């Protein structure tokens, strides 16, 4: 295990920058998550302390074919900045055309997904599939860096499987062709999301004396203590957080409060949860329209209202109603009936 006090001092002395974008000490980044990291959710996370937010990953092939779902994911808003648009693909020409399209949305960062383990992505050689061909990974990054003046960053995994972990070499090669930051998930593609994330190889990347770009850790940061461990014991430059934020955009605030005080933030009240759910739904409707807004916000409600006894009746109203008016009424009922519920 790395020396705790030395790493803490190191983090304090080194400014974290992605290109020319200056970030606070040990920034907290919202991970790109399919069907989760859309503008309404990103806005809520930003309000609660996320230092950088990323879009859902966007298919390069979908963009160059002007597929409606892919194009819609390019929507970003001023209040989100700094914001990164994440793209994936394995075809050089498609990825370069995608850069030109993405630039028109004026993001602060372009991020390349070299880490998605899902079969439909990997089978096309994209996402974590490219971990089988590090030379292609390097050349894609190099050409994309040349194509844009925006900082290009990468999100990836430790390797394809346990026997092919070369993340120290991979990170160095990506840095050498112009990558401005790297986020590393502490699992291989073979692991998918099983087992525990291993942060030791990520620390090895950070401790490589040739590395000078920010190295962000990702995977299993589901408590303020885990974030502190990643900072103090593993010496990383920041933390990219994904699943822990679903239905809990306050996670960023909870981590920062813990960093500042060493204590946990008071539990989020019912009123705060209802307000967030209400605003989330309204922003989704404003962005996607009534039908899609109502449908695609449903996945968040279970987590917003987790652990409340005798809640099934109200949850069913939220996730089965097609009319937003009914969902808003359900929110009012929840606030009235469970106002005094104490979350742990």
Beta bridge mates, 54: 84
Q: Is 260 helix (H, G, I), strand (E, B) or coil?
A: helix
Inform me whether the pLDDT recorded for 2 exceeds 50: no
pLDDT-based confidence at residue 228 (cuts at 50, 70, 90): very high
Inform me whether the pLDDT recorded for 164 exceeds 50: yes
- Indicate which residue of 45, 116, 179, 239 is catalytic: 116
Bridge-based pairing state of the strands 28-30 and 21-23 = unpaired
Give the chain's mean pLDDT.
90
Q: What is the pLDDT of residues 303-338, one digit of tens each?
A: 899 889 989 999 999 999 999 999 999 999 999 999
Ramachandran quadrant class, 54 (left: phi over 0; alpha: psi -120 to 50; beta: rest): beta
Average pLDDT over residues 183-192: 89
In angstroms, the CA 217 to CA 238 distance is 6
Structural domains of the chain in order of their starting residue, each with its CATH number = 4-261 (3.20.20.70), 270-337 (1.10.1200)
Compute and round to an integer the Cα radius of gyration of the chain: 20
User: What pLDDT does 14 receive?
Assistant: 59
Q: Is 239 a catalytic residue?
A: no
Q: What is the pLDDT of residues 100-110, one digit of tens each?
A: 999 999 999 99
- For residues 235 and 228, is the Cβ–Cβ distance under 8 A? no
Q: Give which of 164, 170, 163, 195 is closest to 184, Cα–Cα.
A: 170
Containing 92, the helix (H) or strand (E) segment is: helix 92-103
Q: What is the pLDDT of residues 167-181, one digit of tens each?
A: 999 999 999 999 999
Q: Strand ranges (DSSP E) for the chain?
A: 16-18, 21-23, 28-30, 52-54, 58-59, 83-88, 109-114, 152-157, 182-185, 215-218, 238-241
């Amino acid at each position: 295990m790395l020396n705790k006090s030395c790493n803490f001092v190191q983090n304090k002395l080194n400014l974290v920058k992605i290109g020319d974008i200056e970030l606070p000490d040990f920034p907290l980044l919202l991970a790109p998550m399919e069907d989760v990291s859309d503008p309404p959710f990103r806005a809520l996370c930003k309000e609660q302390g996320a230092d950088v937010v990323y879009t859902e990953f966007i298919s390069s092939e979908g963009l160059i074919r002007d597929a409606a779902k892919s194009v819609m994911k390019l929507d970003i808003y001023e209040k989100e900045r700094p914001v990164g648009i994440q793209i994936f693909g394995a075809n050089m020409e498609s990825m370069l055309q995608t850069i030109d399209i993405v630039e028109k949305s004026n993001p602060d960062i372009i991020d390349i997904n070299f880490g998605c383990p899902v079969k439909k992505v990997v089978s096309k050689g994209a996402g974590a599939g490219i971990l089988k061909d590090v030379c292609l990974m390097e050349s894609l990054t190099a050409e994309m860096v040349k194509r844009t003046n925006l900082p290009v960053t990468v999100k990836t995994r430790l390797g394809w499987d346990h026997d092919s972990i070369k993340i120290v070499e991979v990170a160095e090669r990506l840095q050498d062709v112009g990558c401005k930051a790297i986020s590393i998930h502490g699992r291989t593609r073979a692991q998918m999301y099983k087992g525990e994330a291993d942060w030791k190889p990520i620390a090895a990347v950070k401790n490589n004396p040739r590395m000078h770009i920010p190295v962000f850790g990702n995977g299993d940061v589901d408590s303020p203590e885990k974030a502190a461990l990643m900072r103090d014991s593993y010496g990383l430059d920041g933390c990219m957080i994904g699943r822990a934020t679903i239905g809990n955009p306050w996670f960023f605030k909870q981590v920062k409060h813990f960093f500042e005080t060493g204590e946990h933030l008071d539990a989020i009240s019912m009123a705060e949860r209802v307000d967030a759910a209400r605003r989330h739904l309204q922003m989704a409707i404003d962005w996607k329209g009534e039908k899609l807004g109502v449908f695609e916000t449903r996945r968040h409600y279970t987590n917003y209202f987790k652990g409340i006894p005798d809640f099934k009746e109200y949850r069913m109203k939220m996730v089965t109603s097609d009319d937003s008016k009914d969902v808003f009424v359900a929110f009012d009922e929840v606030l009235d009936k469970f106002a005094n519920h104490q979350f742990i």
